[in-house]
Amino acid sequence: MENQSEHKSLARLDESLLTHIPPFSRLKDFQIREILDHAIARRCAEGVTVFTEGDPAERFYMLLDGYIRVLRITPAGEQVISLHIPSGQLFGIAKAIGRDTYPATAITASEAIILSWPTTMWDHFVADYEGFSSETYKVVGQRMGEINMRVVEMATQQVEQRVANTLLRLVEQTGRKVKDGIEVDFSITRQDLSEMTATTLHTISRLLSAWEKKGLVKSRRKHIVVSDADGLVVLGQHHA
């Protein structure tokens, strides 16, 4: 938890930071100022738990900068990474799906700046801020689509295809260009990849080592670069 003085300084963030973020892009400056004045702002290090699955959904959040990793716990007690959320998106929006508890755990995947508001303000946001509701439900739809796609992959694709498609999604959503290709723009371990693809750590290590020899990827501690995206696309294609 950040100290109170940092909360106060971050709370005076400039209105321009929200102007181009879809849920707030149709609002006037005075409305954005009102939104910021009601927010608590936090600067979090990597690996900070923002909220935990099953906790009362007392606040909802906007990620101003950084990445959020969303985790679920299976009935067998295994941890699964559901998805990653990039900056400029709402999260922890349990109210939007009719829940009063968080459906998953959110952990910072990088250093992050996060705004949050009491859930009691949700109906006010929906009623009074044009575009907030439609953009929120668009985000919900996109995330459900991504999760459903992964469920289909788990059921129909071999391990190599699942891992290739997961890496392709990561670089498409969060990648940044580097000298050797496109790097996933936050720390990611082989254990993380195994939890995203329902695969063992041994299998992930074997695949990455083989792909590195073929020049498809470069993997070092907590960092993965895709050097040959077209090669991964071929591996990720479904074969009946």
Domain containing residue 81: CATH number: 2.60.120.10
Residue 124 and residue 203 share a domain: no
Q: How far apart are CA 188 and CA 150, in angstroms?
A: 18
Quick one: average pLDDT of 48-52? 96
Q: Which of 135, 154, 173 is the endpoint of a domain?
A: 154
Count the domains in the chain. Answer: 2
Quick one: average pLDDT of 203-211? 94
Tokens coding 67: 């990445």
Residue 175 and residue 149 share a domain: no
Residue 171 and residue 197 share a domain: yes
Residues of 181-200 as b/e, b for ≥16 C-beta within 10 angstroms?
A: bbbbbbbbebebbbbbbebe
| Confidence band, pLDDT 50/70/90 cuts, at residue 109 | very high
CATH of the domain at 204: 1.10.10.10
pTM of the model: 0.80
Residue 170 and residue 92 share a domain: no
Q: Which stretches of 92-157 are DSSP H helices? A: 122-128, 132-156
Residue 123 and residue 76 share a domain: yes
Token look-up 């996060």 returns: 114
Domain span at residue 216 reads 157-236
The four Cα atoms 39, 116, 120, 127 give a dihedral, to 10 degrees, of 80
Query: Quick one: pLDDT at residue 238?
Result: 57
Q: Tell me the per-residue pLDDT of 68-89, one tens digit each, with 9 for 90 and over.
A: 999 988 777 778 888 899 999 9
Token look-up 């709370």 returns: 11
Residue 148 and residue 175 share a domain: no
Q: Which has more confidence, 11 or 133? A: 133
Residue 131 and residue 14 share a domain: yes
Residue 36 and residue 56 share a domain: yes
CB contact at 8 A, 173 and 86: yes
pLDDT at 12 over 70: no
Residue 129 and residue 102 share a domain: yes
Query: Quick one: pLDDT at residue 83?
Result: 86
CB contact at 8 A, 174 and 67: yes
Q: Which of 133, 154, 175 is the endpoint of a domain?
A: 154
